[in-house]
Amino acid sequence: MEKLRLHGVTIECTRGDIANQPDMDAVVNAANAELRIGGGVAGAIHRAAGPGLEEECRPLAPIRPGQAVITGAHGLPNRYVVHSLGPVFGRDEPADGLLAACYRNALHLAEQSGIASIAFPAISTGAFGYPMEPATRVALKTVLDEVPRLSSVKHIRFVLFSAADERIHAEVLAECSDRVFKA
């Protein structure tokens, strides 16, 4: 597990299932616009949470790319789910700006709700087709840029599904930390 501590905030990457992060206050859903159960992350989260999550989501939908909304976690072992809609690569532009907005808006909601720990999946890198390495750079740069402004959030975890995806995140995090500590 690659880890970085900056301004009192721990940022880490690990391999795992976003629906099985019991030590986190909140998990982020790579949502669809309708906030319905789907494939990938949205499927795993809604299956683990149970039908109450879709019910709570219904009046909040639809959401736009880059937007985030927050709900309870229902059957998940967390307090909250932050649902964020990533850009569909090649359709929603600017892809990097919209993807950055997902992470920023999710962190802002976490701050407003007094959340101390939050786990993100690699938003847009599955069905939405965003290539993993550029998506990782956008995600980590955005989070590192936000860190100095965070007061409630103390622990940010990226949960990756495959060893290859975890390696990309670990490499980019190591590069980012070189840059942060040399600056």
| Residue 21 makes contact with ligand ADP by CB under 6 A | no
Phi, psi of 179, deg, nearest 5: -65, -45
CB of 152 to ligand ADP, least distance (A): 24
| Residue 127 makes contact with ligand ADP by CB under 6 A | yes
Region binding ligand ADP by CB under 6 A among candidate stretches 3-11, 35-43, 61-69, 150-158: 35-43
| Residue 124 makes contact with ligand ADP by CB under 6 A | yes
One residue of 123, 139, 143, 168 binding ligand ADP per CB under 6 A: 123
Tokens of 52: 């109450």
- Sign (positive or negative) of CA dihedral 146, 4, 10, 71: positive
Region binding ligand ADP by CB under 6 A among candidate stretches 2-10, 55-63, 124-132, 175-183: 124-132
- Whichever of 27 and 181 has its CB closer to ligand ADP, that residue is 27
Q: How many residues bind ligand ADP (CB under 6 A)?
A: 21
Residue 163: alpha-carbon gap to chain centroid: 18
88-96 — which CB contacts under 8 Å span 24+ positions? 88/124, 88/128, 88/129, 89/124, 89/128, 89/129, 89/130, 89/131, 90/129, 92/65, 95/124, 95/130, 96/134, 96/138
Give residues in contact with ligand ADP (CB under 6 A).
17-19, 30, 39-42, 44, 86, 121-128, 159, 161, 165
